[in-house]
Structure 1
């Protein structure tokens, strides 16, 4: 079969050839909806690289990653993975990690002001808010490729999302909580960093859906937004332990995990089941000491490597969008702890 052409894509998408040309080359004047229609048609017609194949830029690229560290050990591991992987790639001219002081649009906009004019691509972990969507759209309109990491920002012209399917991760946590409850009737609580993270919102939705559909004996007592602050998660956990006698489990969706563990360590009675995300030095220790039951890991090494790779691919490709292939979450228990990597 002959290679598809721009008129072929235009016919499939129901758009003009001029719109298709602008979308494929990342130029201004194309709505997010039409850009997605073009890329979907281009993928269906085999115009884009096939799955598992990513083009590489012809010259070394300057990459920037905007990451909110805070009290989140996963973010620190992610930054180390990005830096380590990028340092060994000749096609990366520079790779800078910009630490964002906060989670919301203000932090993102301040970080964007620090980006060098040389930057070709930006990877970002940020919230899903109108101002953040607008900031990403402006960045893409300037010709810089953008990859969202760990938590997606849909309805933006970002090139790709790299991370787990967070709704699936939340449903997985729900099934695991049901197994840990062993058929008992009672309540479970959730600790979220912030619903403004699309990933946290998706995990909460998946968890609630699973409990509603398959575990009617388990009821969600509360879902507390902690702002990823250990003090707030500690206070919330102590309150749960005092006021909810039938508390069977706690699902920690984001950071703030240390505050939960500190509260449980002072609790004299049997502890509830605890499920957290992300395998770090701390969560390894908690598993070994049986202070938590399960870690649902999104593998910061793999996320970091794929973020760099997808960013390079989006810089090289004629289109600013690549196919989305979420990373499969890993279920880590005390007995299958993987060895630490150097």
Structure 2
């Protein structure tokens, strides 16, 4: 059986004889399980060391391109900057292209103008023009990782983020359990319907509430910006007096809380996404019941790793789904 390392190399790493290593590699009998484990650990260590040699002295420039509310882009930017040193001895730098609202054409133009990039982390609309822009980058040798919301028809090398449909189902479960027997309706707020991740959350939420008899009132196209969101939520609440709960998919939660307060309406359950500064405060003050959260630093680390893997600088490892954490005021992380 051929192997990517010579038997002598593995034996030296493991501190075993070449004959023993040869027996393990060829699955011959007469070798203890702990010896087999030592050989496999030695191979894993050699993989890591080879990756370090490939990374040594290399410089990579990664572009972070996102249309998202500033409170989220600020949090993700901090996460990326905190993770960059972890890839030493390689030197990673990041350029940030961040804006809150805009058209698909603006996103396509931003991707077209990238120069000298070694990889892109992208939060963008799931539109054919965006998929084509991603394909052009990939064809030019620039790997693209989609983040938080996917563009699956493109040739992106991976998606990083939570299971959005599962998040919607989780939100529906929490809302229905906390409302109990009350016949209350639920407001769902989205920033833009062209973001696939938000659409998947909405579908999961609606399916989770199917059969409960609860009405769902939708507010969308606010871009998650507070001023726009407050106006839209006020209009929805005035038209739907039975709304007593909120599932916030796209943010703008300060504005949603303000709208309820302006009308003197009680919001009995409020489930949101992401532990940004606004949501932390709203959780502590009791305005939000729970936040569905994922570790942004873990997201950033995985996205950067996928880019380096695609460039052959790191060994390939399977990307695991990002787990959803249900955060309440009582388990709010520091």
User: TM-score scaled by structure 2?
Assistant: 0.78
In structure 2, distance between residues paired with 1:101 and 1:315: 30
Shift, 1:173, TM fit = 0.6
Structure 2 counterpart of 1:193: 191
Is the aligned partner of 1:110 residue 2:109? yes
Question: Conserved in 2, the CA contact under 8 Å of 1:101 and 1:107?
Answer: no
For 1:103 and 1:169, how far apart are their aligned partners in 2?
Answer: 26
> Hey, what's the Cα distance between the residues in 1 that align with 2:102 and 2:251?
12
Q: Secondary structure at the match of 1:258?
A: helix
1:151 corresponding residue in structure 2: 149
Correspondence 1:250-269 to 2 at 5 A: 250-269=246-265
Residue among 235, 240, 253 paired with 2:231 = 235
Q: 1:76-135: per-residue Cα shift (whole Å, max 9, x none)?
A: 100111122114433234221122463542222232244222x21111111100100000
Q: Tell me which of 299, 303, 307 is aligned to 1:303.
A: 299
Q: For the residues of structure 2 that align with 1:269 and 1:204, how far apart are their CA atoms? A: 24
CA offset at residue 223 of structure 1? 4.3
Unmatched 5+ residue regions in structure 2?
A: 4-43
Q: What SS does the corresponding residue of 2:132 show, helix, strand or coil?
A: helix
* Structure (1 or 2) with the larger CA radius of gyration: 2
Q: Secondary structure at the match of 1:331?
A: strand
**Matched residue of 1:259: which SS?**
helix
- Return the TM-score normalized by structure 1: 0.76
Gap regions ≥5 residues in structure 1? 4-49
Q: CA contact under 8 A between 2:70 and 2:99: conserved in structure 1? A: no
Equivalent residues, number = 287
Deviation of 1:286 after TM superposition, in Å, equals 0.7
CA contact (8 A) 1:72 1:255 kept: no
Match of 2:207 among 198, 204, 209: 209
Q: Is the 8 A contact 1:200 1:253 kept in 2?
A: yes
Over 3 Å counting, the alpha-carbon distance change for 1:330 and 1:145 in structure 2 is same
- Larger deviation, residues 53-62 vs 257-266: 53-62
Q: Distance in 2 between matches of 1:223 and 1:155?
A: 27
What CA distance in whole angstroms lies between the structure 1 residues aligned with 2:321 and 2:237?
A: 36
Correspondent of 1:326 among 321, 324, 329? 321
Q: Is the 8 A contact 2:245 2:268 kept in 1?
A: yes
RMSD: 2.6
For 2:100 and 2:208, the matched residues in 1 are separated by 34
- Distance in 1 (CA, whole Å) between partners of 2:244 and 2:107 is 38
Tell me, in whole angstroms, the C-alpha distance in 2 between the residues paired with 1:259 and 1:168: 26
| 8 Å contact from structure 1 (residues 247, 272) kept in 2 | no
Q: Does 2:79 correspond to 1:81?
A: yes
- Asked if structure 2 preserves the Cα contact closer than 8 Å seen for 1:67 and 1:124, the reply is yes
